[in-house]
Amino acid sequence: MITPLNRHKNILEFALSSLLRRRAKNLSLLGLYTMVVFVLASLIFFVHSLKREAAAVLSGAPEMVIQRQIAGRHDLIPLEYIEKISAIRGVATVEPRYWGYYYDPVFGANYTVMVSEARKLTPGNIIIGNGVARTQRISAGDMVTFRSASKNPLLLNVQELLNYESELVAADLILISGEDFQAMFNLPRHQATDLAVTINNPAELATIAAKIAERYPDVRPILRNEILRTYDSLFDWRGGMMTVILFSAILSFVIFAWDKASGLSAEERREIGILKSIGWETSDVLLLKFWEGTAISLTAFLLGSNLAYVHVFFLSAPLFAPALKGWSVLYPEFRLIPAIDFFQLAVLFFLSVVPYTAATILPSWMAATVDPDAAMRS
């Protein structure tokens, strides 16, 4: 007596042998199928990992940043605002931040220059990101020259390089002392770039931000969660842009796969007629075609997903990194920590495996319901 398990096993073996008899057609389909899954899975892995990396790096950012707005543009904020904002109930500390952008005409790159409160630097010493080091071709212990606000050379010593793990947001960063920052930009003495605010109770962030915006109409509170949402939107937009660019290729594959799956050749119709004539039931034929479609689509999904994993987490996604990291002279270079969005992977599975498998069953059912003699003569 044939058990259901043995029945499936026998049909699966016959399905694999049937695929091997038409290996040229099936291998070409499998290759294209794998390529499309590889591209889409790479985008999913890369975008999700960038989001997770950004969230990890920005976890140490200030809970709230206060910027002054003049005519809708970011402007310097007077230090007297510190006392006013500190008086609001629930505010723990208010610290001034000094940062700006320096354009390097030699390399055509923009650097972010910032006074570090966590790392007290003596005048004449700086800490730079890895992107700056690569662009300038310098390392720790080297001297580098910038131009000050008075157009005089500013000679600085590279004390150290920032951690490799922070390169996503610190590739273009230069940490500098307050005295050297003043010499480089000639910032007014009683003004700062913005203010970093710490709140006693994080649950009151939105409430306190609303109070600050109401009392001081010329300032704009920016919450850390808003920055994270901006990063998420940015990476989603870039990932979507890449998908749109590749849409024509994906659509061409879908049409090709549907045509191959839904159109039975004369040889396949004769094979179904022979199987029916020797006693196969219609359900057996449908099960056979189900396993054929599943074998191709599932193999393509597994191959594409594994190749995408290697491409993103071992090779740093060389195909998509320039477009998704940004367009700049200073491309951040870092290895992503493996992070997989299983929900999106499941969606990719159902969009890639299920439609193709279903497309193989309908024409097979139509051929299996035809008289065996007519099918063999076709």
Residue with tokens 């389909």: 29
Six-digit token string for 303: 């191959």
Report the b/e string of 306-338 with b at 16+ CB within 10 A: ebbbebbbeeebebbbeebbeeeebbbebebee
Residues 75 and 121 in one domain: yes
Does one domain contain both 145 and 183? Answer: yes
- In order along its 378 residues, the chain shows pLDDT tens digits of 457 777 767 777 877 887 788 788 788 888 888 888 888 888 888 878 777 777 766 766 788 999 999 988 889 999 999 998 999 999 999 999 999 999 888 888 889 899 987 778 899 999 998 888 888 888 899 999 999 888 889 999 999 988 755 566 677 889 999 999 999 999 888 999 999 999 998 889 989 999 999 988 999 998 888 877 777 676 666 666 666 656 655 666 666 666 655 555 666 667 766 676 676 777 777 788 788 888 888 998 999 999 999 988 888 778 776 666 554 555 555 567 777 878 878 888 887 787 777 777 766 666 566 555 555 555
Asked if residue 227 belongs to a domain, the reply is: no
Beta strands in the chain (DSSP E): 64-70, 73-75, 77-78, 91-97, 99-104, 109-115, 125-128, 143-147, 153-161, 173-176, 191-192, 194-199, 219-223
**Is 127 within the bounds of a domain?**
yes
CB 54 within 8 A of CB 170: no
Q: Of 157, 189, 222, which residue sits at a domain end? A: 222
Task: Looking at the structure, tell me whether residues 52 and 68 fall in a common domain.
Answer: no
pLDDT digits (tens, 9 = 90+) for 280-294: 777 777 788 788 888
Q: Within this chain, do residues 83 and 31 fall inside the same structural domain, yes or no?
A: no
Q: Are residues 43 and 79 in the same domain?
A: no
Is 228 a member of any domain? no
Same domain, 275 and 175: no
Q: Are residues 70 and 48 in the same domain?
A: no
Is residue 176 one of the residues assigned to a domain? Answer: yes
Token pair listed for 346: 């499941």
**Residue 113 belongs to some domain of the structure:** yes
Q: How many domains does the chain have?
A: 2
The pTM score is 0.68
Same domain, 213 and 76: yes
Residue 213 lies in a domain: yes
Q: State whether 180 and 286 are in the same domain.
A: no
Cα(305)–Cα(340) distance, integer angstroms: 11
Same domain, 105 and 156: yes
DSSP state of 199: E
Same domain, residue pair 351 and 255: yes
Q: Which two tokens stand for residue 257?
A: 């796969």
Distance from C-alpha of 243 to C-alpha of 298, rounded to nearest angstrom: 22
Range of the domain at 333: 4-58+233-377
CB count in 10 Å sphere of residue 185: 18
